[in-house]
Amino acid sequence: MNKILFLLIAFMAFSGTYAQNLNVLLSSQMPKVEIIDGKKVTTVEVKAQTGDSGSSLAPRSVSFLGSPFFIDTFQPVTFSVDSSTAPITAPVLLNLANDEILAQLADKITPLRRINFTLAGHEFVNIKDRYYEQLFGGKVKFLKRYERSLVPVLINNSIAGSGYGRSNQKYDGEIGNKEIYYLVFHGDKMKVINMNPKSILSVLKKENKGHFVNGDFERINENDIYIKALEKLSKIDEKTLAKILSDAESAVLP
């Protein structure tokens, strides 16, 4: 099996003015995700710094609470590697830690990037080498970003297991999860939104003049019924916002 780059997002651990970086680790095998003591745990063989100066590398096993994958088992996906090739179907994993899909092709694991695909009913698009779930794909797009970040265990202001000695901690760190929502306007301008009506209204009203007049939501310029609908809401979910965006593009007023 080819070596697979398992990118662990760089994390800065601060104690006063002291800080250290967690190195990018090179895996010699696929990360293994399993349930241990009722918790999801990812284990991977890596090359880590050893010695006081950290000048040499040695293999060791590291484990983290959580998972870097969208789904932890290979799922069948149909996709095209580029516009000149026919679609193929293969089992894939979506690694959210490094925005890469791992495809089982010809008995090997092949890392792929910049591919749009649908995984278990979720539509993913690649924008500037990052994967987003597309919740609505109209003139104004509604996207969701799944962030995976590594939070290492700190022992005496050092990152445990990175060449500064082991301790009795059970895991080397935790893979944190964060979801970020975006609206994408004319010219692929991306704006972060919080999933509450106030935040969404603020972005829509601010972008209205610069983008709606270019074809995005022309109807809102003529009739602000959807802005008013948002103003009446105290909370909102993904489906409701996707419907509002879809209705705003409809040729028929409700």
Distance CA 106, CA 118 (A): 21
pLDDT score for 170: 77
List Cβ<8 Å contacts ≥24 apart for 10-17: 11/149, 11/150, 11/151, 11/152, 13/152, 13/154, 13/157, 13/159, 15/154, 15/157
Q: What is the tens place of the pLDDT at every residue in 166-223?
A: 445 678 888 889 999 999 987 788 999 999 999 998 888 787 654 444 444 544 444 4
Confidence label for 130 from pLDDT (cuts 50, 70 and 90): very high
**Lowest mean pLDDT segment, chosen from 17-21, 95-99, 207-211:** 17-21
Give the DSSP H or E segment for 108: strand 108-112
pLDDT score for 6: 34
pLDDT score for 209: 54
pLDDT score for 254: 43
Residue 22, pLDDT > 90, answer no
Distance CA 162, CA 11 (A): 13
pLDDT score for 52: 63
pLDDT score for 166: 44
Q: What is the tens place of the pLDDT at every residue in 140-169?
A: 899 999 998 887 765 544 444 443 344 456
Distance CA 245, CA 216 (A): 10
Q: What is the tens place of the pLDDT at every residue in 223-235?
A: 466 677 788 888 9
Residue 248, pLDDT > 80, answer no
pLDDT score for 218: 47
Q: What are the beta bridge partners of residue 18?
A: 15
pLDDT score for 77: 94
pLDDT score for 47: 73
Q: What is the tens place of the pLDDT at every residue in 29-80?
A: 578 899 988 889 988 877 766 666 666 777 778 888 899 999 999 999 999 8
pLDDT score for 2: 36
Distance CA 56, CA 137 (A): 49
Q: Mean pLDDT, to the nearest integer, of 12-36? A: 46
pLDDT score for 55: 67
Q: What are the beta bridge partners of residue 57?
A: 49
pLDDT score for 119: 95
3-state secondary structure 10-76: CCEEEECCEEEECCCEEECCCCEEEEECCEEEEEEEEEEEECCCCCEEEEEEEEEECCCECCCCCEE
